[in-house]
Structure 1
């Protein structure tokens, strides 16, 4: 499956045209790609080189930026349990916010300087897209821009550097299990040939948790930005803009090479109240929304652990019997 590339060059003069194109995509697939967005291939590759330099460090050095559950920042390794699969994602990642702890420049030269510049460019692109959605939904044009301003201390927006280590004979396994994104809007950067992302359109309600649709691969390419709607923005739009399921799978045959990706998550400011123009859902603050989503995910994880434990015990009994 391929998505239509949406050119956003000359944004101010083409805002009406761009808005119509992005809204059409967001109302159906919930995914679209941006080109001519203002970040060059060289700048994208430069950020990937920073990411690879970090992940090439020893676990002892990477753990100097430890994962902190309370803030959801820091380095984590194969620690994300997916309720949809009952297994841990086969990846490592580094979560970052402007006010979080950062890897030392002595470990990765110019890490913070280069990454903060990249984040600022992601914020600019996000603001353009979010302005389009605000206008289409009848909000003030800067409604979502203000709500997702990463320079404000209460903003939950994050950058996530991801590395899926190479794997042997892992055909069809989950490098990242089926999920939707919690926040507003995600920008995803990929590299040529490092495939694995699959998407599944068709979700009608932000409260629905299951999917019986068909997943189709989305080839990875350096340059275009893959953009998808998150659950929060789906609810904020009265389910008009679709937050659809996606996952990352290992190759169907043979060895799956390393895959690197970079995700910029627009996750809004804690105290901002979200409610759609039609008031389909009751008003709720961003902090309350996240707390509700985390609680739901935690309960699902407990169920997954229980199920996995039961299946494991069952396999032990079978082994003993034979």
Structure 2
């Protein structure tokens, strides 16, 4: 497959369907590790299939999110985002973020963020909103651990569990990994100049797991510096590298820019769009130092790096 295309990687050998991951030896994962490395060192994106997260759980996340976002603003505001204690929990209002600051206008999207250990107010409706988020976070965390193991193998680290250990506070105090449900409402009749649904950006952290609906719209910059559609693949998770991992690997792996533009098709302009992202970050106190010993980038803590990146967005 050309390096300019987003490859599909089969994770059957180490997905959540494998009840005892420690029984799978590293040599069994070498082929999968190479495929993942090839994807992440070129286009920086891949589709992961046979990952083990049940489709019914994905559907439940989309369903409770849709019910929440469909409520009046006054109701959603009761669980508005609280940026305190390094947390970012709660509802994010329409146009309050600009992921590409050069556009000078807010993105046409809403969101709800959940970072365990830093959470605050939860919506009362739907009643199963919190339990669905918590359960889905746990599934994403468990799958992420396994992806990080295979990444450690692909980077030829001596300890296959090295990256997993650097993220062992996921879901606990001191962890910075966030589950975010995103909602792109049907477009207004008038869109501000330069406004998009999600501006051009690369993610900040280690990796991102992205679950898409069937509407599409995500575009990824390929190795030819052209944006190409990352069309939804049934049952697949889109996984991509973030800038912190690019820094950590001294540019071996690529944090790639991506965006969600205003759709050209008139029918899609009047359709809402949803996605769910699991933004993976190391423990807050983890020092991001080039794994190859090159010192290409100065060491920086995860917390300091994220604070710097967030300061440019909000």
SS of 2:240's partner is strand
Correspondence for 1:156 among 170, 176, 187: 176
Whether 1:68 and 2:82 are equivalent positions in the alignment is yes
Q: State the alpha-carbon separation in 1 of the partners of residues 62 and 233 from structure 2.
A: 13
Matched, 1:287 2:303: yes
Q: Could you tell me how far apart the structure 1 residues matched to 2:189 and 2:70 are?
A: 23
Q: Which residue of 2 is the match for residue 115 of structure 1?
A: 133
Is the deviation greater in 245-254 or in 275-284?
Answer: 275-284
Aligned-partner SS, 2:46: strand
For 1:195 and 1:125, the matched residues in 2 are separated by 24
Label 1:281 to 1:2 Cα distance change in 2 as closer, same or farther (>3 A).
closer
TM-score (norm 2): 0.85
Equivalent of residue 218 in structure 2, options 197, 201, 204: 197
1:79 aligns with 2:96: yes
Match of 1:89 in 2: 107
Which structure's CA Rg is the greater one?
Answer: 1
Against the structure 1 CA distance between its residues 169 and 65, is the aligned structure 2 distance closer, same or farther, given a 3 Å change threshold?
closer
The question of 1:215 aligning with 2:227 is answered: yes
Match of 2:251 among 239, 245, 257: 239
Deviations 1:215-235 (A, max 9, x none): 111112442100010000000
1:141 is matched with which residue?
A: 160
In 1, Cα distance between equivalents of 2:77 and 2:189: 29
Deviations 1:69-106 (A, max 9, x none): 332221111200231322110010001111202424x4
Uncovered stretches (5+) of structure 1, i.e. residues with no partner? 203-211, 302-322
Look up the match of 1:183. Answer: 205
Q: CA deviation at 1:65?
A: 1.1
Residues 11-39 of structure 1: per-residue CA shift (max 9 Å, x gap): 23642121111001000010001011001
Q: State whether structure 2 residue 39 is matched by structure 1 residue 8.
A: no
Residue 227 of structure 1 corresponds to 239
Q: Following the alignment from structure 1 to structure 2, what is the Cα–Cα distance between the partners of residues 188 and 244?
A: 14
Over aligned residues, Cα RMSD in angstroms?
A: 2.1
Contact 2:48–2:239 (Cα < 8 Å) also in 1: yes
Name the CA distance, whole Å, in 2 between partners of 1:220 and 1:10. 23
How many equivalent residue pairs?
287
Identify which of 268, 276, 279 aligns with 1:262.
276
Cα distance in 2, alignment partners of residues 170 and 252 from structure 1: 14
| C-alpha contact (below 8 Å) 1:180/1:230 kept by paired residues | yes
Aligned counterpart in structure 1 of residue 54 of structure 2, from 14, 19, 40: 40
Q: Find the partner of 1:124 among 130, 139, 142.
A: 142
Asked whether the 8 Å contact 2:6–2:39 carries over to 1, the reply is no
Distance 1:80 1:258, change over 3 A: same
Partners of 1:89 and 1:83 lie apart in 2 by 10
User: Could you tell me the TM-score, scaled by structure 1's length?
Assistant: 0.83
Q: Shift of the alpha carbon at 1:3?
A: 2.5
Aligned equivalents of 1:253, 1:159: Cα separation in 2: 30
Q: What residue is the counterpart of 1:271 in the other structure?
A: 285
